[in-house]
Structure 1
Amino acid sequence: MRDVAGQRQFYTEAFGWAFSDFGNDYAATMSGDVDLGLNGDCTQWTAQLLPVIEVDDLEQTLGRIRAAGGAVTMPIFAFPGGRRFHFRDPHGHELAAMVREAIA
């Protein structure tokens, strides 16, 4: 488990960013087109910062990524606030696609 509070403190102090908490191990900025998620769950860590693209239809996007030559690196999973999957583009960059869902 990573310390989400410590990660959040760094980015708040360095850039003045505000975060929304989604449970104890995930927080994200929710300010615009590009947001940063901080993940404390070790099963979902990535080696680098992970760009996350919000989409309307996750399954359709997964199919389009595969058809375009991308490779899924982590299948669809639920996380606080939505569902997502990770993928690698044909040039080796890792990203994620997500849909927002209401927290029950």
Structure 2
Amino acid sequence: MTRAHEKLNYVEFAAKDLAATKAFFQAAFGWQFADYGPDYCAFEGEGLDGGFYRADLCGQSEQGGALLVFYSADIEATQAKVSQHGGTLVRPIFDFPGGRRFHFVEPSGNEFAVWSEAATA
């Protein structure tokens, strides 16, 4: 884990179904997890280290939750993998002033987004 003074270092998410959440991120994004008992798993080397803890909660941007955003060099392929592996699209690919992005919810209900540069004509 990288440590830089007063910089973001770790993020934790609630997950009502740890097994389904782990399986989704392993399949769609290639993440690896370390289990710390039956109620917590951690990931590292994914841009920001973090973990999931068992709870009947989830993070949604419309409820004021933080929205973590992935980068993709091929947004269409990433959207297809997310859908194929159990993610639910809540906003399909759309343009914004700086690129394109989509939003999805993983199996435990946490919302994430993926962005890429604007499509070239």
TM-score range, shorter chain: 0.5 to 0.7
Counterpart in 1 of 2:94? 77
Amino acid corresponding to residue 84 of structure 1 in structure 2: R
Task: Answer 1 or 2: higher relative contact order, Cα 8 Å, separation at least 6.
Answer: 2
Residue 75 of structure 1: how far off its partner (Å): 1.1
Q: What is the RMSD of the two structures over their aligned residues, measured on CA atoms?
A: 2.2
> Which contiguous aligned blocks of 4+ residues in structure 1 show a shift greater than 4 angstroms?
none
CA displacement, residues 61-90 of structure 1 (integer Å, 9 cap, x when unaligned): 010001110000011111111000000001
Residue 46 of structure 1: how far off its partner (Å): 3.0
The alignment of Structure 1 onto Structure 2 pairs a total of residues equal to 62
Is 1:91 equivalent to 2:69 in the alignment?
Answer: no
Structure 2's unaligned 5+ residue stretches are: 1-5, 7-46, 49-60
Contact 2:93 2:100 in 1 (8 A): yes
The two structures have a TM-score, normalised by structure 1, of 0.53
Partner Cα separation in structure 1 for residue 107 and residue 117 of structure 2? 26
Is 1:101 equivalent to 2:109 in the alignment?
Answer: no
Amino acid corresponding to residue 46 of structure 1 in structure 2: E
1:46 to 59, 62, 67: 62
